A and B are shown apart, each in its own frame.
Chain A
Amino acid sequence: MPRGVGVLGAGPGVAALHLPTLMRLPDDFEVVHVADGGSGRAEALAARSQARWSSGDEEVLGDPRVEVVAICSPPELHARQVLAAVAVGKRAIFCEKPLATTVADAVEVIEACRAANVSLLVGTNHLFDAAWGRAKHHLVARGGAVQAVSVTLALPPNGRYHDVVTEGGPFTGPNRGRPDVSRPEVAASVVRQLITGLAVHDLPALRDLAPLLEEVVFARFVAPVGYAVGYIASGVHVRLTTVMVPDGADAIWRMVITTPDDRIEVEFPPAFVHAGSALVSVRADDGRRTVYRRDAEDGYVAEWLVLAAMLDGGEPVEYDELLADAIYGIEVADAAAAAVVEGMSA
């Protein structure tokens, strides 16, 4: 019997990601209610599944058919909406990343979910990608200390990927104008938002490899939109480089892990598409290159299946890990933002 899903949010992540993904899991989930923040966009999205639609949080949270609340709203609303869902007795929550934008909110959210025994999953799809598990297994099996990790993103507009999984676009967020990034505090704010919105996909994996933040070596805004951040954590050299461009080549999203003996590359498919897992390749110390097979299942499908397993009682909710992931992401974002201000003021 599929579980009813109520979606809070009607942006591109709902239209082109979660609704198409949930349609791939009809035995596990059924979208029964979609709510927007007042735009009216939820009506068309709900019609795809013959679901109800509304504006605001109240009707979704009050809908008895909603067993799973999917929080796909702007990041600053996530913590409040998780707490509201817990307060009305909902027992399953899928929350898009980030879980919260401050440490205090993250702690409050986790403690509320833990106390109510809520099945909570944060949508860090890369963490659920089978390829990441394969890369971790290789690291453990080889036993080599990680020397460095880099995550490199070059992202064209998402529209080209929306177009292969849905119709009715373009699906764009609200036009917030062009920020004045010549001002240090504005550049820092943009970098912080980008880290909590994009780098967050891989920060849980980075926390696995380099858990204790020691120092930010550099952080800066990169035109037209992006960031370059370098930090040291648990002795590991970490670099994050992201550029979002208005057009051009296909997206790249690559993590490279360097050990004393080998180099592991994890190449993720573009966002939104269902093209299987990431591709893992290993360049060994003797020059051999091993390429592992892809899995047919991508991280988006995998994360929803994990939530289903939680609801079936077959998968525990790791509240402490979720909290640690959230805090790590916030710490990196805050430290990078501070370094941006320092660098532009030096």
Chain B
Amino acid sequence: MTSPPIPVLTDLAAFRVAVAELPESARLAHDARGAVVVVEGAGEWWQAVRDAAASGADAVVVTAPGDAPAGHAAIVELVELSIPVVVSRPHLRVDVAADAVDARGSAIVRAVSVDGAAATDELAFVLRDAIGWMRLLTGGPLELRASHPTKRGVTALLEPHPGGTLGEPEVHSRRAPGAFSADPACTLGVGVLADGVTGAQLRIDVLGETLTEVTIDAVRGPARVVTAAAKGRLVSPPRYETAERLALRRAIAAVRSGEPPSDLNDLLHDVTLAAAMQEAPTAYLRQAQGIA
């Protein structure tokens, strides 16, 4: 017996179209009770998420969440909610990331290199999504080892954090003195676009015996995933589904299965490291002064 359509509460045109594109899974709702509530990620979006939960929503979709208050305590509180929260991020689609990871199979990640460009007001979002890509491609939480922000952009080194958790990322390395890392090096360089130039770009390269190239450039079309090994190159099929429809499907699936996505913990991890990356330059010696 098929499940009845899940109600979706939204005023956003793109999400209303997405509901129309899910005629058997979703229907438009008039109030939050028992619905998937779509929250636009502007302003105090975290409060809007709490309000939706308090109003009886079964799940929430947050689209392109903006900055959260210092320390990201607001996001931490949302993690404690008992309803699923799906986060739709403009430069990090979970289905595209899954394509990239799946195509690699068990191939070892030797290094990840991210090149990007973003307008000043997009920089924080692009940085967090770049970190998200690194996290997904290396298979776990990261720690920030060094960073250098200037008005021209940001350069940084991150590495997998052994024993770390997504909800509480390590901002500075606590590795023992003299420890050698065989972990992949995750390096990032994002340049700032000129005033008036829009359209953030990300290029993610995974290096090793198997290469992965992910190109994200919305102006030029869907994200592109190419995987190269000894036998040749595989271009993954583009994901033509809209981000809005994908987000709704994920929320509906979470409601039906009872299995919440890790989106908020993922966001907390990425936002925390991105914010740290944009603070004063860090270097090994300065970090060493704070190591216990």
B201 A218 Cβ-Cβ under 8 A = no
Contacts of B219 in A (CB 8 A): 286-287
Q: Is A125 among interface residues, defined by CB-CB distance under 8 A?
A: no
If A218-B145, A220-B185 are given as contacts, then 13 extra A-B residue pairs at C-beta distance below 8 Å, sorted by A number, are: A144-B194, A148-B189, A154-B110, A217-B157, A228-B185, A235-B152, A247-B230, A258-B115, A286-B219, A287-B219, A343-B146, A344-B178, A346-B284
Query: B189-212: which residues lie under 8 A (CB-CB) from chain A?
Result: 189-194, 197, 199, 201, 203, 205, 207-211
Q: Which of B113, B150, B208 contacts A239 (CB under 8 A)?
A: B113
Give chain B nearest CB distance to A96 CB in angstroms.
Answer: 26
Interface residues as binary, A127-141 with B (CB distance below 8 Å gives 1, 0 otherwise): 000000000000000
Question: Chain A interface mostly helix, strand, loop or mixed?
Answer: mixed
Chain A contact residues, CB within 8 Å of chain B: 144-145, 147-148, 150, 152, 154, 156, 181-184, 187, 215, 217-218, 220-224, 226, 228, 230, 232, 235-239, 241, 243, 245-250, 252, 256, 258-261, 263, 283, 285-287, 289, 339, 342-346
Give chain A nearest CB distance to B99 CB in angstroms.
Answer: 17
Q: Is B285 among interface residues, defined by CB-CB distance under 8 A?
A: yes
Q: With A148-B152, A287-B220 in contact, is A222–B111 under 8 Å at CB? A: yes
Q: Is B235 among interface residues, defined by CB-CB distance under 8 A?
A: no
Contacts A/B (CB < 8 Å), 29 sampled: A144-B194, A148-B152, A148-B190, A150-B113, A150-B189, A217-B146, A217-B155, A217-B283, A220-B185, A223-B182, A232-B150, A237-B154, A237-B191, A241-B111, A241-B205, A243-B110, A252-B211, A256-B203, A258-B115, A258-B189, A260-B194, A261-B197, A263-B115, A285-B199, A286-B219, A342-B283, A344-B180, A346-B173, A346-B288
Contacts of A187 in B (CB 8 A): 180
A230 B220 Cβ-Cβ under 8 A = no
B208 A243 Cβ-Cβ under 8 A = yes
Shortest Cβ-Cβ A-B pairs, 7 listed: A248-B209, A147-B191, A287-B219, A260-B194, A228-B185, A258-B191, A346-B284
Closest to A153 in B: B207
Query: B39-70: which residues lie under 8 A (CB-CB) from chain A?
Result: none
A260 B157 Cβ-Cβ under 8 A = no
Number of interface residues of B (CB under 8 A): 57
Task: Report the separation of the CA atoms of residues A260 and B152 in the bound assembly, to the nearest whole angstrom.
Answer: 8
B187 A228 Cβ-Cβ under 8 A = yes
Contacts of B190 in A (CB 8 A): 148
Contacts of A256 in B (CB 8 A): 115, 203
A245 B192 Cβ-Cβ under 8 A = no
Closest to A154 in B: B207
Give chain A nearest CB distance to B209 CB in angstroms.
Answer: 3
Q: With A230-B187, A346-B288 in contact, is A245–B193 under 8 Å at CB? A: no
A241 B199 Cβ-Cβ under 8 A = no
Q: With A147-B191, A181-B180, A241-B187 in contact, is A285–B155 under 8 Å at CB? A: no
